[in-house]
Amino acid sequence: MATDSTPADADGPASTDGPAGTGSPKPAEQQPPKQPHWLTAGHWAGIGAIAGILSVAIAVAVAVFPPKSDGPGTAQPNSANSITGTSAGTPSPGAQSTAGASGPPVLIESVTPLSSDPDLTLVLADKVELTAAQLSRLDSEGLQNLEKIVPLTTRPVPVRFGFTNVTLMGNAAATVTITQLEIDKKCRPPLTGTLLYSPSQGAGDTIKMIFDLDGTAVVAQNASGLTATGSYFKDHIVTLAPGEAQTLSITVKSDQHDCTFTLRMTVAGPTGTVVENIDDNGQPFELTAAPPHNSDYQAVYLSPVYSPSRHWTRVDPARAPGR
Q: Under the phi-then-psi rule, with left for phi > 0, alpha for psi from -120 to 50, and beta for the rest, what region is 296?
A: alpha
Answer whether residue 53 shows pLDDT above 80: no
Tens of pLDDT, residue by residue over 181-191, are: 999 999 999 99
258: helix, strand or coil: strand
132-146: b or e for each residue (b if 16 or more CB lie within 10 Å)?
Answer: eebbebbeeeebbeb
Answer whether residue 197 shows pLDDT above 50: yes
Give the per-residue pLDDT at 225. 84
φ and ψ at residue 140, rounded to 5 degrees: -90, -30
Give the per-residue pLDDT at 115. 86
Tens of pLDDT, residue by residue over 55-99, are: 545 554 544 444 444 433 333 333 322 222 222 222 323 223 334
More confident residue, 94 or 241: 241
Is this model's pTM higher than 0.85 or not? Answer: no
CA distance linking residue 271 with residue 258, whole number of Å: 39
CA separation (Å) from 235 to 9, 203, 210? 150, 22, 13
In terms of Cα–Cα distance, which of 251, 305, 280, 323 is closest to 142? 305
Give the per-residue pLDDT at 46. 53
In what helix (H) or strand (E) does residue 62 lie, and over which residues does it extend?
helix 41-64
Give the per-residue pLDDT at 48. 53
Q: Under the phi-then-psi rule, with left for phi > 0, alpha for psi from -120 to 50, and beta for the rest, what region is 149?
A: alpha
CA distance linking residue 24 with residue 17, whole number of Å: 5
More confident residue, 266 or 24: 266
Give the per-residue pLDDT at 118. 55
Q: How confident is the model at residue 146 (pLDDT cuts 50, 70, 90)?
A: very high
Give the per-residue pLDDT at 74. 33
Residue 113 has a CB neighbour count (10 Å cut-off) of 14
User: In a 10 Å sphere around its CB, with 0-12 CB exposed, 13-18 middle and 19+ buried, how is residue 216 labelled?
Assistant: exposed
End-to-end CA distance of the chain: 174
Tens of pLDDT, residue by residue over 253-281, are: 999 999 999 999 999 998 899 999 999 98
Give the per-residue pLDDT at 144. 85
Pair 143, 120: CB distance under 8 Å? yes
Answer whether residue 173 shows pLDDT above 70: yes
